[in-house]
């Protein structure tokens, strides 16, 4: 059986010179401008003339825009990121028509992610030195890990986060990512707040509560930001950057912890059964929103799914309405009520005393095995690479 090579992004931090930072900032602005102009043109064409505008038409528009006096500054930056942003807009509309996302939105100078994507014609990578178009010197990249041997990047994405840090992401074929040897092990995973994960084996993994560790420092920085005058003053920009740095530090710690957990689960188990939670609805609970967001259940699931696809594992998502907590994992008796405050309970049928979370994980594992065999007992809600699920989406979409 032939296996296709996995496309994998390798992200590194770099430190640009003043000239490079200025060039990249101009590029980010031009990318945002072209994206917004193309989105406005496509929206207007459909609203006024019922006409669909595709990538080729917007590419021709870009050529015309560069010839105008008002938009002549677009010639000052590399044309590759500008063409790529038009392709990204085309992908956004394709996903919109496929009823996977909402209608594309305009990019904001303050809120949108600052990034520019370069294809092979827009950069040079030789002997571990990366040079972008319109630049004479290579970027000062911190090579924290090596790229796969005998591979060259197909695209390079440069970005700057809200904390002012610069990153370069290089998309490469990674021949080292191969399916792991098959195992007979399977595990049910119940996510929570007191414990981040509870496994069907009885193991409980503590919730680090990354946001709580920096909550006082974050609150102080936010109060100082709130006292600054509105606008783009230097003091407000500096205060906003301090808040962003604290958020970035929290997110980095959380992401690192989740990577370690998901890698361990994928390496030790052939099948991993989770619950299909609607986190976006759960965070509407004002009492639990902060704790749920800090736990990052959606990010945990996303990591688990793509790593399972890489290494030949299975992720099964059990329907969110499956009564995993109220069902006795020994005799199958269903309890009528199970408030969140109840952490330990005794089954009315067999008298077994259950830890709420361990019992839920065991029931998830049993339900996942059932769907793996015959597709009964669960209703996964969204498709997942390497997993077993079914997508259900409703609602109509308007034309661009």
pTM of this structure: 0.84
The phi-psi region of residue 248 (left if phi > 0; otherwise alpha if psi is between -120 and 50; otherwise beta) is: alpha
pLDDT 10s digits, 235-268: 999 999 999 999 999 999 999 999 999 999 999 9
| Residue in 58, 55, 60, 40 with CA at minimum distance from that of residue 91 | 55
Residue showing tokens 């709130």: 226
Please state, as a whole number, how many other Cβ atoms lie within 10 Å of the Cβ of residue 366.
18
Q: End-to-end distance of the chain based on CA atoms, in angstroms?
A: 42
For residue 12, the tally of other CB atoms under 10 A from its CB is 17
Structure tokens at 40: 């406005």
Phi, psi of 162 (to 5 degrees): -65, -20
Query: Catalytic site residue 275?
Result: yes
Per the residue annotation, which of 117, 211, 275, 294 is the catalytic one? Answer: 275
Q: Which one of the listed residues 190, 211, 276, 294 is annotated catalytic?
A: 190
Banded model confidence at residue 350, pLDDT cuts 50, 70, 90: confident
* 190: annotated active-site residue: yes
Distance CA(197)–CA(214), nearest Å, equals 22
Distances (CA, A) of 313 to 10, 173, 361, 365: 22, 20, 19, 15
CB 84 within 8 A of CB 62: no
Rounded to the nearest 10 degrees, how much is the dihedral formed by the CA atoms of 117, 120, 126, 131? Answer: -40
Q: State the Cα–Cα distance between residues 177 and 307, nearest whole angstrom.
A: 10
Residue 262 CB partners (closer than 8 Å, separation 6+): 300, 303, 304, 307
* Each residue's pLDDT tens digit, 82-134: 999 999 999 999 999 999 999 999 999 888 999 999 999 999 999 889 999 99
């Amino acid at each position: 059986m032939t296996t296709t090579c996995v496309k994998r992004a390798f992200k590194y931090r770099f430190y640009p010179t003043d000239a490079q930072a200025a060039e990249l900032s101009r590029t980010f602005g031009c990318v945002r401008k072209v994206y917004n102009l193309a989105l406005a043109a496509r929206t207007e064409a459909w609203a006024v003339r019922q006409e669909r505008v595709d990538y080729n038409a917007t590419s021709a528009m870009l050529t015309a825009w560069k010839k105008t006096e008002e938009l002549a500054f677009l010639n000052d930056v590399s044309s590759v990121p500008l063409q790529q942003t038009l392709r990204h807009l085309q992908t956004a509309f394709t996903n919109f028509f496929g009823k996977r996302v909402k209608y594309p939105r305009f990019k904001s100078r303050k809120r949108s992610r600052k990034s520019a994507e370069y294809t092979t014609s827009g950069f040079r990578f030789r002997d571990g030195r990366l040079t972008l178009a319109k630049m004479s010197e290579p970027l000062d990249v911190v090579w924290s890990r090596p790229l796969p041997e005998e591979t060259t990047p197909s695209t390079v994405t440069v970005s700057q986060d809200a904390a002012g840090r610069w990153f370069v992401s290089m998309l490469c074929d990674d021949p080292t990512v191969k399916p792991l040897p098959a195992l007979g092990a399977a595990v049910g995973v119940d996510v929570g707040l007191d414990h981040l994960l509870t496994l069907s084996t009885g193991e409980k993994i503590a919730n680090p509560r990354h946001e709580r560790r920096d909550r006082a420092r974050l609150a102080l920085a936010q109060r100082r930001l709130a006292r600054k005058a509105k606008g783009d003053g230097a003091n407000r920009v500096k205060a906003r950057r301090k808040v962003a740095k604290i958020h970035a530090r929290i997110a980095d710690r959380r992401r690192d912890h989740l990577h370690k957990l998901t890698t361990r689960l994928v390496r030790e188990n052939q099948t991993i059964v989770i619950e299909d939670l609607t986190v976006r609805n759960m965070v509407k609970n004002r009492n639990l929103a902060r704790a749920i967001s800090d736990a990052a259940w959606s990010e945990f699931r996303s990591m688990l799914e793509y790593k399972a696809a890489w290494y030949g594992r299975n992720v099964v998502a059990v329907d969110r309405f499956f009564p995993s907590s109220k069902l006795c994992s020994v005799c199958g008796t269903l309890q009528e009520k199970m408030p969140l405050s109840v952490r330990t309970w005794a089954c009315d049928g067999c008298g077994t005393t259950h830890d709420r979370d361990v019992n839920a994980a065991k029931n998830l594992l049993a339900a996942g095995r059932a769907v793996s065999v015959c597709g009964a007992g669960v209703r996964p809600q969204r498709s997942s690479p390497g997993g077993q699920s079914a997508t259900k989406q409703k609602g109509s979409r308007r034309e661009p």
